[in-house]
Structure 1
Amino acid sequence: MSVTGVWIVGAVPDQEVRNLLSASVQNSSPAPEHRDALGELAWWRRKAPASMFTTSTCSPGDASADEDALRLSAFFDTCHDDSDSGERLREAVMDRFPPDVGEGLFVATARKASPFSALAYALGPDATLQLPGWFGDFLLDAGQVRTQLPSAEETLTLTGATRRDAIERIRAWMTGLGDDPAHAADELLDGPLRVLRHAARTGQGAAGQVRWY
């Protein structure tokens, strides 16, 4: 059975965010923490400079995942809150996203792979931790959007060889772990930042969600 990874980043009216955060605090229990997040982050920092994929000699552009890539993917998956309260909050946020993709909504999908995981692999651990929230999941009010926007801009505004390397890594993830060789890698860098800038400009909050379908 095939699965599809999704990363959604959308603007949400500021008051709606405040209401959701207030209700979440009142009605949820603390999310379980990864059993060894600090240890896995330290391991990732050691491994990050090297490629975790082997390029195919038979099919140019294809890659196969090494054991390190599988371990990193598993770590990303365990960093997300899959509790009932977490899922209820995600569904409530989904209902408040803009109806159409545009300045206020970015949606990335990939067959068999998580778009956010591909981006994190491309950026590396320290840059990934500069993004809002925790590994792609976040819910920010308007003030928090304005505060965190500069870090997101510094992280995602890549140029020249740095951008080319990031795009190559995204494509390696999408072919080595997923089945999406034509994925729009540029949009993984540009789309979330477009939404955050729109939210800051219009005085809105913003949310990000990593999901599987």
Structure 2
Amino acid sequence: MSVTGVWVVGVVPDEQVWALLHAAVQDPASIPASAPRDLPGELAWWRGRGRESLFRASTTSPGGWSAGEDALRLSAFLDACRDGSEAVEALRDAVAEQFPPDAEEGLFAAAARKASPFSALAYALGPDAVLRLPGWFGDFLLDARQVRSRLPAAEEALALTGARRRDAVERIHAWMSGLGDDPDHDADELLDGPLRVLRQAARTGRGAAGHVRWY
């Protein structure tokens, strides 16, 4: 049975952010998270791998990639960081109803068969850059003030150029090919789309949210 990983980032009316949080959870800073039992240990392991590739060139598919054991370990760790509790899933549903209807500046959505777009981005950026992104490994709910305060860190993590961007694009393709079934995934949009939404929210005085899901 095939699964599809999805990552959505969209602007949310500022007045709705606090209403949603008040109705669903008691923590107004972000969506609550279920941390893996050995979060410090796994982060230390990931940092220790540095910029090493966790994939090798495929011997059966020209231009493709195959995942090594460490790629599977990182994928499992990132999946374990996601809170799939009933309360948080209900909050994700409520937030999604506030997103703009059209995929323009105020909405970014990425989907891939058998792979999580956010996990591909995390692999491309590395642990320290990922921890500069809002919220908890792709999940966040920020009001307008929080968007403005977190935007510089997100820009530092995502606004890549030159060799750093080329490396990130290659690593996204490796993840989507080696673990997923989407070798032609739009890696540039995966880097640019979330930042475009956060900048739009900051310009217009709105909040923003992101959520990682599997279907």
TM-score, normalised to structure 2's length?
0.95
Instruction: Quote the offset at 1:56 in angstroms.
Output: 1.7
Q: Which residue of 1 aligns with 2:86?
A: 84
Distance (Å, rounded) in 1 between the aligned partners of 2:34 and 2:199: 31
Mapped to 2, the partners of 1:128 and 1:151 lie a distance apart of 10
Distance in 1, Cα, partners of 2:128 & 2:153: 12
How far apart, in 2, do the equivalents of 1:127 and 1:148 lie?
13
| Alpha-carbon separation, structure 2, partners of 1:117 and 1:41 | 14
TM-score (norm 1): 0.96
Aligned to 1:64: 66
Report the secondary structure of 1:208's partner residue.
Answer: strand
Q: CA deviation at 1:25?
A: 2.9
CA contact (8 A) 1:31 1:83 kept: no
Q: What does residue 18 of structure 2 align with?
A: 18
Tell me the secondary structure at the aligned position of residue 106 of structure 1: strand
- Structure 2 Cα separation of the partners of residues 156 and 114 of structure 1: 17
User: Which of these residues, 167, 172, 177, is aligned with residue 179 of structure 2?
Assistant: 177
Shift of residue 58, structure 1, vs aligned partner? 4.1
**Pairwise mapping of residues 141-180 of structure 1 onto structure 2 (< 5 A)?**
141-180=143-182
Equivalent AA in structure 2 for residue 19 of structure 1: A
Amino acid at match of 1:12: V
Find the counterpart in structure 2 of residue 50 from structure 1: 52
Query: Per-residue CA shift, 1:53-106, capped at 9, x if unaligned?
Result: 011244322000000000000000010111111111001001111111010000
Q: Measure the CA separation in 2 of the matches of 1:26 and 1:138.
A: 14
- The answer as to whether partners of 2:12 and 2:206 remain within 8 angstroms in 1 is yes
SS of match in other structure, 2:195: helix
SS of structure 2 residue aligned to 1:86: helix
Residue by residue over 1:169-205, the C-alpha shift from the partner in whole angstroms, topping out at 9 and shown as x without a partner, is 0000000000001100000110000000000000000
Rounded Cα–Cα distance in structure 2 between residues aligned with 1:11 and 1:85: 21
Classify 1:34/1:3 alpha carbon distance in 2 versus 1 (closer, same or farther; 3 Å).
same
Q: Structure 2 matches for 1:101-140, cutoff 5 A?
A: 101-140=103-142
**Judging changes above 3 Å, is the alpha-carbon distance between structure 1 residues 138 and 56 closer, same or farther for their aligned structure 2 residues?**
same
Identity of aligned residues (%): 72
Provide the aligned length of Structure 1 versus Structure 2.
Answer: 211
How far off is 1:47 after superposition? Answer: 1.2
2:105 and 2:197 in contact (8 A); partners too: yes
Deviation at 1:42, TM superposition (A): 0.3
CA distance in 2, matches of 1:43, 1:26: 32
Query: Aligned partners of 1:58, 1:3: CA distance in 2, in Å?
Result: 23
Indicate the residue corresponding to 1:3 in structure 2. Answer: 3
- Give the root-mean-square deviation of aligned CA atoms: 1.3
Extract unaligned runs of 5+ from structure 2.
Answer: none
